Amino acid sequence: MSDALLTVDHLNVGFATRAGIVRAATDITFEIHPGEVLAVVGESGSGKSVTALALMRLHPDNAIVTGDVLFEGCDLLNMSDREMRATRGNDIAMIFQDPMTAMNPVFAVGDQIVETIRVHDSSISKQEAWTKSVDLLKLVGVPEPKRRASQYPHEYSGGMRQRAMIAMAIANDPKLLIADEPTTALDVTVQAQVMEVLHEVQAETGSAMMLITHDLGLVAGSADRVQVMYASRLMETGTIDQIFYESQNPYTMALLDSIPDLDGHREQLEPIPGNPPSLLNPPSGCAFRPRCAFAADVCAAEVPPTVVVGDQHESRCVRTRELETLGGEIS
C-alpha cells in the first residue's frame, strides 16, 4: 500500500558475538498507516524492542541491520546522521520501558522537555518552550504542572515519570510514536492510567503508534492491528479481532490460552510448555515447532512462509490450511 507512514521491508537485525551471529529480528516486514495503533506482541527476547530500536537507529553498535525501512518515503537506514537526528524526537518519538532510568536525573523535567523542543526548532525561545512543556505536562495529567516542571525526575513517582516521558515524546507532534513496553515497569493501576493518557494524546495528535508489549490484555483495548512475534520472526499479523477471535497460528493460540480471562470463562490457564529457543542456534524449520501442539514432520523441513489467511491477516505456519479443519477440535 502506498499510503503507509512506515514501511518495513525484510528487516534483519543480528548481533555479532563470539559464539556467532545472534539473529534478534529476522525478515520483519510490516507497515504502519497514519493514525493507526499497531501492537507488537511477543515474549521477552522475541525481537520486539530490537526491531523498534533498529527503526530509530538506536541499536547497539555491534548490531548488523539489513533491509529497508521507509518513513514517508525516506530511507531511515541509509539517511545521514544529521537527517536521522532531525527525524528522531520530531517525526518519530519513542517512549521507553523503565521511566525510572529513562530520564536524566540531573536535569529538571521541564528542562528536558524544553531541550527536546528546542533541538528541533531553535526559533522557539526558552520561555516559550518552557510554557509549552508546562502545557504538555498538563496535557498528560501531571498535577500542578507549573511546579512539577521545575522538579527533578527523582521527585516524580513512576507513573508521573512515564507521563512526563509521554509529554517529552509528543512535544514535537510526532507522526509516529513508538512505545516500547510503556507500562511494564509500572504497577497495574498506574498501567491503566498511563495507557489512557497514551490513547488520549495519540487521539489528540493523530499520530500513529507502535505499541510494543508482552501483555495481550493491554493490546485488546488499545490496538487496531496486532503483530505477534516469536523467536525473532513475525508469526501472525491481523486486526485485533482476527488475532483474538480468529487466530490461525498455533503460537498465538497458545499465547491466548495462557492469559487469564476477566469474564471467568476459562477454568484453567494453559502455559506454553518448554522455553523459547536460543536465537544463536534456533531449531530447524519453524522456531515454535518444539513447543507446538500441532507440530508435524513438515514443520522441521524449512522456515514456514507467511500465508495470507484473510483480509490483512497473515500467519506463518505451514499447517495453516490443515489447522482450519482442525479448528473444531481445538475449541
Tell me which residues touch other proteins (CB under 8 A). 56, 58, 85-90, 93-94, 96, 98, 101-108, 110-111, 115-116, 119-120, 126-127, 130-131, 134, 146-147, 149-150, 152, 154, 165, 168
The whole-angstrom separation of Cα 136 and Cα 158 is 18
Quote the least distance from Cβ 198 to other proteins, whole Å: 16
The whole-angstrom separation of Cα 309 and Cα 136 is 43
Q: Which is nearer to other proteins, 96 or 251 (CB)?
A: 96
Quote the least distance from Cβ 19 to other proteins, whole Å: 18
Torsion of CA 310, 67, 208, 40, to 10 degrees: 60
Q: Which is nearer to other proteins, 182 or 276 (CB)?
A: 182
Quote the least distance from Cβ 14 to other proteins, whole Å: 20
Q: Which is nearer to other proteins, 136 or 309 (CB)?
A: 136
Quote the least distance from Cβ 180 to other proteins, whole Å: 10
Q: Please report how many Cα atoms fall inside a 13 Å half-sphere around the Cα of residue 106, on the Cβ side.
A: 0
Nearest to 55 by CA among 200, 174, 206, 225: 174
Quote the least distance from Cβ 75 to other proteins, whole Å: 18
Q: Which is nearer to other proteins, 86 or 259 (CB)?
A: 86
Residue 220 exposed, middle or buried by CB count within 10 Å (0-12, 13-18, 19+): middle
The whole-angstrom separation of Cα 58 and Cα 121 is 22
Cell reading at 70: 521507509
Q: Which is nearer to other proteins, 149 or 287 (CB)?
A: 149
Is 156 in a helix, a strand, or coil? coil
Quote the least distance from Cβ 285 to other proteins, whole Å: 35
Q: Which is nearer to other proteins, 120 or 199 (CB)?
A: 120
Is 6 in a helix, a strand, or coil? strand
The whole-angstrom separation of Cα 226 and Cα 229 is 10
